[in-house]
Amino acid sequence: MSQLFPSALLETLRKARSIAVLTGAGISAESGVPTFRDAQTGLWAKFKPEELATAEAFLRNPKMVWEWYRYRFDMVRTVQPNPGHYALAEMERRVSEFTLVTQNIDGLHQKAGSRNVQELHGNIQRYKCFEDNQAVESWAPTEEMPPKCPRCGGMIRPDIVWFGESLPDGPYVAAHMASETCDVFFSIGTSAVVFPAAALPGMALRAGAVVVEINPERTPLTAQATYVFQMPSGQLLPELVKAAWGAVDSSKQ
């Protein structure tokens, strides 16, 4: 597959001081996590994500929203990183500055060994209090859905950014800075339509970075990206890392 890669891209990667990566649901597709817009199957098929992933939906029907997240939590808990996740963890070990910005809430990048992961949309394995947004680590076993905050009795919700909510400051500032200062920016497995994450590749382009898109489908970014690979990331990324820097540690796959 290495003939796929222009030598100028491989050279740019080897010389890069700083790499920023934005991932979306597509990077986890080969782990068996349905992409966000494909995720509504079975029991949940009749609901749109926009009708479940909002504070209004939670207030209207907390039990239903809690059950939807339990269903997604149970699915995420059983899946494993795929070669795309591992290749990004390997890339981080080869570059002096590396920032992995993800819209995913599944924790698979960390499970694959990535270290500098900025979660823009939260994490399904963390919880917080609906009233004051403070983290809730644990609560007494209960049949109640959702359970109540042990501090104030408010409802517990997943620590996820819902539609209409702002992104967490720390990850967003880190993502912004990485996009504006990187030499190479990867946009991987994202439909590049949900803002503000979708603005990051444009920032990188304007700052002069080489922008690489990996996605089997076209997106609004495709026409502007410097290099486009219309392939599944789990197939392409290990080959790209190998072509640029040498073999990926196969014991980690």
The count of other CB atoms within 10 Å of the CB of residue 163 is: 14
Element holding 249 (H helix, E strand): none
Q: Is the peptide bond before 146 cis (omega within 30 degrees of 0)?
A: yes
Nearer to ligand APR, 145 or 231 (CB): 231
Q: Are 200 and 185 in contact (CB under 8 A)?
A: yes
Collapsed DSSP state (helix, strand, coil) of residue 229: strand
Size of the site for ligand APR (CB under 6 A): 23
The count of other CB atoms within 10 Å of the CB of residue 125 is: 14
* Choice from 14, 17, 37, 48 touching ligand APR (CB under 6 A): 37
* Choice from 79, 194, 205, 243 touching ligand APR (CB under 6 A): 194
Minimum distance of ligand APR from residue 5's CB (angstroms) = 17
Q: Are 145 and 93 in contact (CB under 8 A)?
A: no
Minimum distance of ligand APR from residue 42's CB (angstroms) = 18
Minimum distance of ligand APR from residue 52's CB (angstroms) = 11
Nearer to ligand APR, 90 or 119 (CB): 119
Footprint (CB under 6 A) of ligand APR, residues 98-157: 103, 121
Under the binding rule (CB under 6 A), the answer on residue 202 touching ligand APR is: no
Footprint (CB under 6 A) of ligand APR, residues 212-251: 214-217, 219, 232-234
The interface mask with ligand APR, positions 151-190, x = CB under 6 A, is --------------------------------------xx
Minimum distance of ligand APR from residue 104's CB (angstroms) = 7
Minimum distance of ligand APR from residue 32's CB (angstroms) = 11
Cα–Cα distance measured from residue 211 to residue 205, given in angstroms and rounded to the nearest whole number: 7
Provide CB contacts within 8 A for 173, sequence distance 6+.
none
- The encoded tokens of residue 64 equal 């239903």
Nearer to ligand APR, 73 or 139 (CB): 73
Active-site residue flag, 85: no
Under the binding rule (CB under 6 A), the answer on residue 24 touching ligand APR is: yes
Q: Which stretch binds ligand APR (CB under 6 A): 24-32, 122-130, 146-154, 201-209?
A: 24-32
Minimum distance of ligand APR from residue 71's CB (angstroms) = 16
Footprint (CB under 6 A) of ligand APR, residues 40-59: 49
What backbone torsions phi and psi does residue 12 show, to the nearest 5 degrees? Answer: -60, -40
Task: Compute the chain's Rg from CA coordinates.
Answer: 19
Catalytic residues: 121
